[in-house]
Amino acid sequence: MNSYLEIIVQDISKAYSPGITAAEILKDVSPASRPEILAAELNGKQIDLSAPITEPGKLDFISVNTPKGLEILRHSTAHIMAQAVKELFPEVKVAIGPAIADGFYYDFDSPRPFTPEDLEKIELRMKEIVKSKLPFRKVVLPRGEAIQFFKELGENYKIELIEAIDADEVNLYSQGNFTDLCRGPHIPVSSAVKAFKLTKVAGAYWRGDERNRMLQRIYGTAFPSKDELKRYLELLEEAKRRDHRKLGKELDLFSISEEAGPGMVIWHPKGAMLRYLIEEFERKEHLRRGYQMVVGPQILKRELWEKSGHFDNYRENMYFTTVDEIDYGIKPMNCLSHMIIYKSRIRSYRDLPIRYFELGTVHRHEKSGVLHGLLRVRQFTQDDAHILCTPDQLNDEILGIINFVKDVMGIFGFDYTMELSTRPEKSIGSDEDWDRATTALEKALQALDLPYEINEGDGAFYGPKIDIKLTDALSRSWQCATIQCDFTLPERFGLTYVDADGTRKRPVMIHRVVLGAIERFLGVLIEHYAGAFPLWLAPVQAMILTITDRTDSYAAEIAETLRSHDIRVDLDLRNEKIGFKIREARNQKIPYMVILGDKELETQSIAVRKRGQDSTVTVDLAQFINALNQEISMRSF
């Protein structure tokens, strides 16, 4: 029997004694990179650097400069924050503290809300803990002992978490006098944290359930270096300036009123115009690509939702009502009506593909704690389409959708990434159908030579999907477009077509959106452009400003002429100084100001100032209209 382990590190196999740690191997193979390494992976499983190695295999080191390393750094910083909170506020109970996309958070049950002054104290104490070079130590305890340990500490949230774990043993991590339930891994020592910042406090229900106690959630972030943290905090400040809720109020686009109900958007005239422009753009782009417009009802009988699988797999997100003692579901999706249209008559293979498009308003039961401006609402409109095609046409249709999305993202100036999401645990349909659908999506991505990541288990309950995530001006990622391949619902609803040989065959259905929820897309768009929309999208394209009331009639004539050329125009005829009017138009981010005084009246000209410029140019009206129409037609951003 061998008394050593074969460990492969950096493609080199070497024998080590059982019980050696990853940290000791790191000293042997790469001492120069030690400060950057936070943890390791043995045979694909993450481990602490201090963990004894008892099995042979491949060992990879995890650097702080990788996504995995950054996640470990942030998770460990969350533990340091929890330690600081417990030392400063011993009466507080700790809940959970994960790493998230931009940092980390930790939930606390506190007798009172945390204040900005509290955050300063917590941050100061965290810096002291970091300087103390406290090692992170892992202990594995039997489940019962761990429960008893946290009972003695009075940490009821940890007890509840352990009781939900289906395992005989659980992992605990300690640094200094603080111990937390965690599967790890963690940084080796607290001084590995080089740059962090606590950013805000918010309320959060325990386990995300509004029936549970409201906890205090402290958010923070951590980076490998102070320069990276500085850049992130600058982006954070810019994000605050671009916040669509703030700009929505300042630009008078929309409001969300508690009187009307949370998650329900009320569109003001300018916002409604912006929405109309996006929807008209969508209609024209779909008609160009051979889509047919359809409209379905807002409620459908419960039996249909049961047949589709939504009732069993999605009903917690749905609203229901009863009419004449018949149960109805308020639609969260548009696909059922589209299948009913398809079934309304016999279809031939010559009819396919059929592409149904609907700007369909849907309702979903979102918890109040996750509602967020336009980005998470309860009523929204999707640019929803369902394509029914033969299996032979499937690849071309998926390619067509991806190219459609690429064209649209280019118009708005968005970069994007691709994700292929596979079968979730809660799903319907056969393994064979899921494999066929997943293969079809993957082949399309490969045919276009597009890079993509696999998102295991995040498909829709009826089929896998391609998620297209756009990247905005601040390099943030947003989920908008999605393409779902579905063999299952056509089977459940008995959809068929008559093939060339006269037999009935089953079509494939593609569910897809390009922009996704119009509300969400507009929220992203407002922040992407910082409210300064390109001319073709601006709710008001030109604002006419008068210097004296002697030009009011001339201003009205100019406005009428511009409107007759489909230019969206507004007038400011108030008895205010022109400097004040210009500042207000600038704050409203109007693309063009038309300034009229006695000189312009006399020469029958106009003085034009473009957004972002301080000088005016005198032109004739026809020249101005021609320039605007040219810019609008280019759809430049």
| Catalytic residue (choose from 125, 158, 511, 528) | 511
CA distance 278 to 522: 9
CA distance 595 to 578: 9
| DSSP codes, 165-207 | --SSEEEEEEETTEEEE------SBGGG--EEEEEEEEEEEGG
| Catalytic residue (choose from 125, 217, 423, 465) | 465
CA distance 452 to 313: 27
- 365 catalytic residue (yes or no): no
How far is CA 216 from its chain centroid? 23
- 549 catalytic residue (yes or no): no
CA distance 286 to 336: 20
- 511 catalytic residue (yes or no): yes
CA distance 63 to 81: 22
- 386 catalytic residue (yes or no): yes
| Catalytic residue (choose from 48, 118, 180, 384) | 384
Place of tokens 């045979």: 43
| DSSP codes, 432-491 | HHHHHHHHHHHHHHHHTT--EEEETT-SBTTB-EEEEEEE-TTS-EEEEEEEEEESHHHH
Say which amino acid occupies 514.
V
Say which amino acid occupies 18.
P
Q: Is 273 exposed, middle or buried (0-12, 13-18, 19+ CB in 10 A)?
A: middle
| Catalytic residue (choose from 242, 364, 512, 609) | 364
CA distance 616 to 545: 13
- 613 catalytic residue (yes or no): no
Q: Is 471 exposed, middle or buried (0-12, 13-18, 19+ CB in 10 A)?
A: middle
The neighbouring-strand residues paired with 202 are: 217
| Catalytic residue (choose from 335, 389, 480, 485) | 335
Structural contact between residues 555 and 544, judged by C-beta atoms closer than 8 angstroms: yes
| Catalytic residue (choose from 83, 175, 382, 541) | 382
With H, G, I as helix, E, B as strand and everything else as coil, classify residue 427.
Answer: coil
Active site residues: 335, 364, 382, 384, 386, 465, 511
